[in-house]
């Protein structure tokens, strides 16, 4: 992992391979059109093509729901319940309420907050299980009051869904699980099929095909975000144990080859200690090759002269995960303008946030923390403005309305007010 100075550091940019994106879009758009036109049959055909599974039914059966608990350990169920309790407690604080204000002349204004009716959540699957992602997406939707929550996840060979995903879904209160993956699952939620109702919103991570599909269906349905590769930035002074820093960098690098792991520190000695620890720990990882590729392409240890330079670099990166492993870390929160999640101190590593702390682990990536937020209860709710004027109150505002309407050339708008004024003369 390369050591560079603050002045020389430039955030590695993910290669924008336009030709690959065009190729993916061609495939994705064809899938979206086919699912929209052919419904369930297209989903069955694509599952056979991409997952080598011929489905007879798209939905996880009652039998599969029941047998999942027997296939997972009691310690896993306890871990899910621990995470669920913490995630629930945190997200309850995000719940918004309707509000109203009253003015003279019997004017009432306000905002009515209501939940979406139906949400579709994509959970990557097949070879790997992501029960934590189930909890992070389902729990805030349940707290918001969403009535119907469905999951789509690819089937394993043999045609069944990973039992860890089913158990997490059962604990979180999911209504239905569909054995569908990829862009075709996004299409099913966006347009609806014979078996899968159209969703109001699609959330959840996925590969490039899922991400591009979400981008193309946005507008027909809402989406949470288009997430890029995972990122961590660690600001570490000499009080941070080098082995802790190295472990946390590697915990992100093992996600995939495109993941980004950056450390900002303040001395060459500390930088070299972290670099040495990374080399030692890397050899012990099961996903060594993935982590090594990530660190080679997108990993850097940056040596700056002072904290102010570090804050400038952090705010320019707007990282998904930011760890402040510095003395009195809490005192530095005000220096951070852009980050998805901020972890304070040597004992608040990023994996804590991934699993059990409570805040959502679905976070803005690729610098989008400059203008977007973590997934939350608010993502599953919507607001309606409330306006009630009495006759007297409307007449007081009538002239201003007419003036603005006529200025914009919208004479029918003005006439809607003028008619009401005439009725009073």
SS (H, E, C) 352-383: HHHHCCCCCCCCCCCCHHHCCCCCCHHHHEEE
pLDDT tier at 1, thresholds 50, 70, 90: confident
**Residue 306: active-site member:** no
Angle (nearest 5°) at CA 375 between 373 and 376 = 105
Q: Which of 91, 255, 321, 361 is catalytic?
A: 321
> What DSSP string runs through 111-139?
EEEEE-SEEEEE---SSS--HHHHHHHHH
What SS3 class is residue 157?
A: coil
Q: Report pLDDT for 16.
A: 54
Tokens of 326: 């510095």
Active-site residue, 320 included = yes
As to burial, measured by CB atoms within 10 angstroms (0-12 exposed, 13-18 middle, 19+ buried), residue 69 is: middle
262 and 210 in a common domain? no
84 shares its domain with 189: yes
Q: What's the domain range around 340? A: 2-16+229-371
In a domain, 384, yes or no: no
Query: For residue 137, is it within any domain?
Result: yes
CA atoms within 13 A on the CB side of 52: 5
Among candidate residues 231, 277, 320, 350, the one labeled active-site is: 320
Rg (CA), the chain: 26
> Residue 360 has what pLDDT?
98
Helix 40-51 / helix 182-191 crossing angle, nearest 10 deg: 170
Residues above pLDDT 90, as percent of the chain: 91
- CATH code where residue 97 lies: 3.40.50.1980
Residue 133 lies in a domain: yes
- Assess contact for 320 and 231: CB atoms under 8 A: yes
Separation CA 157–CA 384 (nearest Å): 46
Q: What Cα–Cα distance (Å) separates residue 267 from each residue in 5, 249, 330, 419?
A: 10, 18, 22, 75
Contacts of 109 by beta carbon, 8 Å cutoff, 6+ apart: 100, 101, 103, 385, 386, 387, 388
Regarding whether 213 and 128 lie in a shared domain, the answer is yes
Which H or E run includes 415? Answer: helix 411-422
Domain check: are 233 and 183 in the same one? no
Give tens-digit pLDDT for 194-243. Answer: 999 999 999 999 999 999 999 999 999 999 999 888 999 999 999 999 99
Query: Could you read off the pLDDT of 4-25 as tens digits, one per residue?
Result: 887 888 765 555 567 888 999 9
Residues 187 and 59 grouped into a single domain: yes
Residues 210 and 286 in one domain: no
């Amino acid at each position: 992992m390369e050591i560079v100075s603050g002045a020389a550091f430039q955030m590695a940019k993910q290669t924008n391979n336009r030709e690959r994106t065009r190729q993916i879009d061609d495939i994705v758009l064809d899938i979206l059109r086919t699912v929209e036109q052919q419904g369930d049959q297209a989903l069955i055909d694509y599952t056979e093509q991409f997952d080598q599974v011929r489905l007879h039914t798209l939905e996880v059966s009652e039998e599969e729901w029941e047998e999942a608990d027997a296939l997972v350990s009691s310690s896993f169920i306890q871990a899910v319940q621990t995470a669920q309790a913490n995630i629930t407690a945190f997200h309850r604080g995000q719940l918004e309420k309707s509000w109203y204000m009253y003015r003279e002349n019997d004017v009432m204004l306000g905002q009515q907050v209501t939940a979406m009716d139906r949400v579709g959540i994509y959970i990557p699957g097949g070879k790997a299980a992501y029960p934590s992602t189930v909890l992070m997406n389902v729990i805030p939707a349940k707290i918001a009051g969403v009535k119907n929550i469905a999951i789509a996840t690819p089937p394993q060979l043999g045609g069944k869904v990973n039992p860890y995903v089913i158990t997490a879904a059962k604990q979180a209160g999911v209504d239905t699980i569909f054995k569908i993956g990829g862009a075709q699952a996004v299409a099913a939620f966006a347009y609806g099929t014979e078996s899968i109702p159209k969703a109001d919103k699609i959330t959840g991570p996925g590969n490039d095909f899922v991400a591009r599909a979400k981008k193309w269906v946005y507008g027909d349905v809402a989406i949470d975000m288009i997430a890029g590769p995972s990122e961590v930035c660690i600001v570490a002074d000499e009080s941070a144990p080098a082995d802790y820093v190295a472990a946390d960098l590697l915990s992100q690098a093992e996600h995939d080859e495109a993941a980004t792991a950056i450390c900002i520190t303040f001395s060459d000695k500390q930088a070299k200690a972290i670099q040495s620890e990374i080399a030692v720990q890397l050899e012990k990882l099961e996903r060594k090759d993935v982590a090594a590729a990530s660190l080679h392409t997108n990993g850097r240890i940056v040596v700056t002269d002072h904290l102010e330079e570090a804050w400038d670099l952090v705010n320019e990166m707007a990282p998904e995960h930011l760890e402040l492993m510095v003395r009195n870390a809490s005192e530095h929160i005000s220096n951070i303008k852009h980050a998805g999640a901020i972890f304070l101190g040597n004992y608040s590593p990023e994996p804590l946030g991934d699993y059990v702390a409570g805040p959502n682990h679905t976070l803005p990536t690729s610098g989008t923390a400059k203008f977007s937020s973590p997934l939350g209860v608010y993502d599953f709710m919507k607001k309606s403005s409330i306006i009630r004027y009495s006759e007297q109150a409307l007449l007081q505002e009538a002239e201003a309305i007419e003036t603005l309407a006529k200025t914009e050339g919208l004479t029918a708008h003005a006439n809607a007010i003028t008619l009401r004024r005439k009725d009073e003369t």
